[in-house]
Copies of this chain bind each other. A is one copy, B any other.
Amino acid sequence: MSIDQSDEMSIGTLLFIAQRAFEEDIVAALHASGFEFTLAQGRLAARIAENGSRLTDLASAAGITKQSAAYLVNQLETAGLVSRHDDPHDARAQLVVLTAYGKQAQKEARKIEAGIEARWQKFLGEPEFLALKKQLLTLREQVDRHDPTH
């Protein structure tokens, strides 16, 4: 975000435009495929690990409070996309796990994502697209305070 003119667009604004276009395309395509969820729900669901994730970890990964994460997990649960299970190793904790339906949504989301990436790769050229991803990955290592590898 910035306060500047549109003809001197900052990298923040450029990231914003690309990022939102990506998200909107996914939500629209998922909607067209019969899956109904919101941006915030999707962002959280995207961070659920294969064998389940703790609420606190999801919140941290998504960069929101655990209260906000709980709100979203409740909605995903109501929608039948995730279920909660007690963590066998910690009686305080739960594991949020994708249901079969949730995994179906995940599969569809991945397919849609791959389609968008393929389209973008065509716009930019393959080497440029791969370079873009690589640079964003490098950037993430520097800026993501929730990066699990930190």
Chain A: residues with Cβ within 8 Å of the partner, total of: 61
A46 at the interface (CB under 8 A from B): yes
Are B133 and A131 interface neighbours, CB within 8 A?
no
A19 at the interface (CB under 8 A from B): yes
Are B139 and A135 interface neighbours, CB within 8 A?
no
Bound form: Cα–Cα A5–B20 in Å: 20
Quick one: given A18-B136, A48-B3, are A142 and B123 in contact (CB under 8 Å)?
Answer: yes
What DSSP secondary structure best describes chain A's contact surface? helix
Quick one: given A1-B39, A3-B109, A48-B3, are A15 and B18 in contact (CB under 8 Å)?
Answer: yes
Bound form: Cα–Cα A139–B11 in Å: 12
> Chain B nearest CB: distance from A4 CB in Å?
6
Quick one: given A17-B143, A21-B144, A140-B18, are A113 and B2 in contact (CB under 8 Å)?
Answer: yes
Which chain B residue shows the least CB distance to A132?
B135
Are A105 and B3 interface neighbours, CB within 8 A?
yes
A90 at the interface (CB under 8 A from B): no
Chain B residue numbers with a CB within 8 Å of A49 are 5-6
Chain B residue numbers with a CB within 8 Å of A124 are 135, 138-139
Are A131 and B135 interface neighbours, CB within 8 A?
yes
Chain B residue numbers with a CB within 8 Å of A70 are none
Quick one: given A17-B140, A133-B14, A140-B14, are A46 and B4 in contact (CB under 8 Å)?
Answer: yes
Given contacts A1-B43, A2-B26, A128-B135, 12 further A-B contacts (CB under 8 A): A2-B42, A3-B42, A3-B48, A6-B49, A6-B61, A11-B136, A12-B113, A12-B116, A15-B15, A21-B144, A124-B139, A132-B135
